[in-house]
Amino acid sequence: MQTAKNHDVPVTSGVDDSVTPFWPHLFEPFRNAASSLATFFSPSVDASTANDRYEINVELPGVEADDIDVTLDDGVLTLKGEKREEREEKGKSFYFSERRYGSFQRSFRLPADVGADDIDATFKNGVLTLGIPKLNPAPREVKKIQIKS
């Protein structure tokens, strides 16, 4: 049995050079879409579940509790608010600015097994935590269906 020799030939060596200029532009539409989406502020969210409750944690650094509105309507939990831009720019030239400001809204359809009247919300260190208790589910009943012949 012979072993193959590695000649260190680049994978793209067989690709026609006329294709090469295409590659840098292949993902350009996605790059443009991503950069335009980056102009909107949308807070990061973690949603988890435990035995007796669901929990939603929302990162809202720089937002005041008074600027957040949480509502529940027909099983949809909605968070609305605004992150206000408050900075002095006189005499400054920015090389880049990555912080985002503006209004935001996030909505979550809650499962049917939640205690809507007992949802609690706390806001500490820029994180909004929503505790959503689960109701004790009724025991599941399996019904046998008779087949008639």
What is the Cα 43 distance to its own chain's centre?
A: 7
What single letter denotes the amino acid at residue 135?
A: L
Confidence of residue 141 (pLDDT cuts 50, 70, 90): confident
Kindly report, residue by residue over 114-131, the tens digit of the pLDDT.
888 999 999 999 999 999
Kindly report, residue by residue over 45-57, the tens digit of the pLDDT.
999 988 889 999 9
Kindly report, residue by residue over 72-112, the tens digit of the pLDDT.
999 999 999 988 776 666 777 767 666 677 788 999 999 88
The pLDDT of residue 15 is above 60 = no
Q: Are 108 and 77 in contact (CB under 8 A)?
A: yes
Q: Is the pTM of this model over 0.85?
A: no
In the chain the domains, ranked by start, together with CATH numbers, are: 41-85+102-137 (2.60.40.790)
Confidence of residue 137 (pLDDT cuts 50, 70, 90): low
Please report, rounded to a whole number, the percentage of residues in the chain having pLDDT higher than 90.
40
Helix (H, G, I), strand (E, B) or coil at 28: helix
